[in-house]
Amino acid sequence: MKFDQFHDYRATLVALVLVLFASGAASAPKLITDEELILRMGDVSANKFPFILAYDQGLYIKNGINVTPKFSPGSVRTINKSGIEVAPENIYDPDGDDPYTIAISGSGPTIVGISTRAGRAPGPLILGSTHTKSRWRIMTRPDITAPEQLKGKRLGYSGFGAVSHNQWLQFIEHMGWEQNDVAMMSGGLGLDALLNGDIDALMTPELHGTMAIMNGGVNVLVDLGDHSFPTAGSALVVDRDWYQNNPDATRAFVKSGVEAIALMKTNKAIAEQTMIKWYGMTDPKARDLFYIELLKMDEKPYPPYEGIKMIMRLYDGVEMRKYTPEFFYDDSIVRELDESGYIDSLYE
């Protein structure tokens, strides 16, 4: 499938705003900051979808910030293996000059990185999350038909500390096994690793799972949504210093995300436009399957409180013990939007 970005809607929206402004019929949105903010996204997935939708629908501009979402090179290499191509202009350069300001990236890897990589502390701040409970699937070869058969098998995940890693760790605990009862295979998140026989089971995110079901040849063995494991998944994160210097722009970022989640969940037609434009989903069945997954997203993206505790337990160590869960997040913006009734009003 071809993953391509189109700017027709956004260009039309901006042009319309300018026309209205010139005619005196409306005021042009006033930007809180003139800075173009590159929204770094850690993977190509369902959890990033609302923030692409916010860009497509002009929500960032409406709220006073100029945001351009881009994916990491590593995430693009991974999703390519599941049959989706990402246009080069939608990939950020990790060695480029764009400052790190805002991002949508995994809470777990953020926390694990702070406690295990030199020079990472204090790290970015988590403002909220779109993935606080398990909802991924375990997919296997057709000959594996029971969870018990995974003992002694090769389990694919992306990297140490990632959601695909700690969801396997929780599943292993759930089964009453030890970690050395299985072979944990990093770099094995792509559907190709399963189909090629490099791994026996795949911890499958929503987009990968949709592609796997569409392509066939795999077995959906376990739906982790049935277990409600705590998850520290994709989060709205911000550079701590930038947040202190740009509180209004940070609030606009979170507000845009909250609005996009509501729009996604209440208007399937608009959501499908972004599926087609960004994810190349021309097949209505694929869009239907993917939309079912999108509807599972929380309406109120609070930080993953229990997921953070899970990360601190599973990746315990001398450095991790220096921190409290509260060090890693600030839920004040989501809480204000919730307690004011604003989030609920988006669904009325």
Out of 210, 226, 242, pick the residue that ends a domain: 226
Both 12 and 115 in one domain: the answer is yes
Is the distance from CB of 242 to CB of 81 less than 8 angstroms?
Answer: no
For residue 74, what pLDDT is reported? 67
Is the distance from CB of 202 to CB of 208 less than 8 angstroms?
Answer: yes
Both 190 and 241 in one domain: the answer is no
Out of 176, 210, 226, pick the residue that ends a domain: 226
Q: Token digits for 289?
A: 């399957």
* 338: Cβ contacts below 8 Å, ≥ 6 apart: 300, 302, 344
Average pLDDT of adjacent 10-residue blocks, the chain of 348 residues: 42 46 54 91 85 96 94 66 61 77 93 93 95 94 96 96 96 98 93 91 81 77 94 96 97 98 98 88 89 94 98 98 98 99 97
* 96: Cβ contacts below 8 Å, ≥ 6 apart: none
Both 160 and 305 in one domain: the answer is no
Is the distance from CB of 127 to CB of 44 less than 8 angstroms?
Answer: no
For residue 45, what pLDDT is reported? 81
For residue 80, what pLDDT is reported? 58
Both 123 and 247 in one domain: the answer is yes
Q: Long-range contacts: 314-321, Cβ < 8 Å, 24+?
A: 314/166, 314/169, 314/170, 315/111, 315/112, 315/115, 315/116, 315/161, 315/166, 317/115, 317/116, 319/115, 319/116, 320/115
DSSP assigned state of 66: E
Domain that holds residue 13: 2-133+232-345
Both 52 and 154 in one domain: the answer is no
Both 33 and 160 in one domain: the answer is no
Is the distance from CB of 202 to CB of 191 less than 8 angstroms?
Answer: yes
Out of 175, 195, 226, pick the residue that ends a domain: 226
- Supply the CATH number for residue 204's domain: 3.40.190.10
Give the count of beta carbons closer than 10 Å to the beta carbon of residue 190: 23
Both 115 and 64 in one domain: the answer is yes
